[in-house]
Amino acid sequence: MPDDSFNLNVKQILVENGWMTPEGLPELTESIDINADSILTKYSGEPLPFNPLHVGDLLLSIGDHLSNCRSIRSEAHALANTAISLIHNQGLAEDLRINEQLIDRISREYFSATVGNSQSTSSKEGVVEPTIEASDARNDFNKQINELRENVTKSISRYNKEIRTRVNTDGSGGNYVQKYAALASEFNVELIECYRRARCVVDGLKKVYKEVKFPVPTLSRTGYLDQLIIWYKNVLYTFDRKASKIENFSWHLSGFNNEILGPDKPTLYKNEQEFSTHRDARNFRFTIKKTVHLAGIPYDHFALRAVDIRILQGSTSPLNTTGKEAAAFFAGTLKIPEQETSENRRIPIPQIVFDKIEAIGHGIPAAKYGRNIVRNADPFGDWELDLSHTTLGQKPYSKNFPNMLLTLHFAGWND
């Protein structure tokens, strides 16, 4: 019968003959996203690293990272399959298979000869003993077995010498463990960035869109990439459905009550005197309240998308500014109310820089500022506008401009 020593395991050959380290082999035979829980745990409780209000941008970024993860995983699996099938491709397994076939054939011939001759020769005790021919066949069989063992050893040694150099050389295309380790490191970076953004998306969905049914998948040791992919698709399609209902609109607030918007419209200040105090200091502080300033907005939900500010130059007429005077403008900065995550953690929001605060009515369309800063922000709370004392352009505006107009650009949608 075939000798059990020839039932060699491919993985054992790779390790025993130095083609692959025992530490590297398990990695090659397991999915690259194994132990995702231990890799991602340290990020599960960190402060949100990205602005959760920017849900759309975050989803686009997550899609890119997931695509990278899938590509790396496919490359790693292909690399592992190549490494594990290496001895098959090099011919060692074929040598072993042929040698085992020879052993099978010799075994059958030997035992056939032994059994065939054992019927004519018996000992005095009645025990059947092999004939001289059978003994010779056994000796010949053992000799061939030893030769075959030697051939297998030489075969292993030959391939071992050729492959070990490539497998154990740094940077070599045949160093499968090293290549796999590099892919695993790259994969982990992509998976971490995907997970960190996913946490931000969940918070943004709660804060902006009042959507709470898509928590980040619970960390697990295996299969976590696939869980993230399914989560991402569900979130993305839900977000797309909500986005299809969004309508853009603008809401105007004047500095104080006059003919810019009409006497019945909400204003930032109660009267002209209060407005003038802030104007003379070139620093405007005001609070926007939902029930006072944004009452009447015909949407269940709305989120800030951009802002612009204009001043009324010359007289109280909004169309009074003409000629060179219209080319001048103020520069300034605007701080919007502080924003918080759904867990009441502060979201850092940079100030908006206005390089042009135009005059109302000189024919130039209003600019929308802060698109990437205020997107999806909550407008309610304390604002601060600081105007520089230096103006730019052909002719400076009058210090005592009579009024100003704050325009809030929103995205609104209904349930």
Are the beta carbons of 266 and 255 closer than 8 angstroms? no
Nearest 5°: the CA angle 293, 263, 325 is 95
Q: Clarify whether residues 38 and 142 are in a common domain.
A: yes
**Residue 376's CATH number:** 2.60.120
The verdict on 251 and 367 lying in the same domain is: yes
> What does the pLDDT average to over 67-86?
86
State pLDDT tens for residues 280-299: 888 999 999 988 888 888 89
| pTM score of the predicted model | 0.72
Q: What is the pLDDT of residues 361-402, one digit of tens each?
A: 544 555 677 777 888 999 999 999 998 655 555 444 456 778
Q: Is 233 found in the same domain as 372?
A: no
The answer on pLDDT for 66 being more than 70 is: yes
Domain boundary among 216, 241, 266: 241
On the CB side of 297, how many CA atoms lie within 13 Å of its CA?
27
- Whether residues 62 and 47 share a domain: the answer is yes
Domain that holds residue 25: 4-241
pLDDT at 7 > cutoff 60? no
Tell me: the pLDDT tens digits for 220-238? 998 999 999 999 999 999 9
Give the number of domains in the chain.
2
Phi and psi at residue 314, in whole multiples of 5°? 85, -120
CA dihedral 392, 379, 345, 218 (to 10 degrees): -120
Q: Evaluate if residue 70 carries a pLDDT over 90.
A: yes
* Ranges assigned E (strand) in 223-317: 247-254, 283-288, 301-312
Assess whether pLDDT exceeds 90 at residue 201.
yes
Q: What is the Cβ-side half-sphere exposure of residue 39, based on CA atoms within 13 angstroms?
A: 23
At which of 209, 241, 273 does a domain end?
A: 241
Mean pLDDT of the chain: 77
Q: Which residues contact 2 (CB under 8 A, 6 or more apart)?
A: 100, 103, 104, 107
69 and 131 both lie in a single domain: yes
In this structure, the answer to whether residues 188 and 290 fall within a common structural domain is no
Q: Name the percent of the chain lying above pLDDT 90.
A: 36
Instruction: Tell me if 177 sits within 8 A of 28, measured CB to CB.
Output: yes
- CA-to-CA distance for 208 and 197, rounded, in angstroms? 16
Using the predicted structure, report yes or no on whether residue 148 has a pLDDT greater than 50.
Answer: yes
158 pLDDT higher than 50:
yes
The angle at the Cα of 406, spanning 404 to 410, to the nearest 5 degrees, equals: 165
Buried residues in 280-317 as b, exposed as e (16+ CB within 10 A): eeeebebebeeeebbeeeebebbbbbbbbbbbbbbeee
Residues 133 and 206 in one domain: yes
Q: How confident is the model at residue 321 (pLDDT cuts 50, 70, 90)?
A: very low
| Distance, CA of 89 to CA of 86 (rounded, Å) | 5
- Considering the domain architecture, whether residues 210 and 67 belong to the same structural domain is answered as yes
Residue 77's SS3 state is: helix
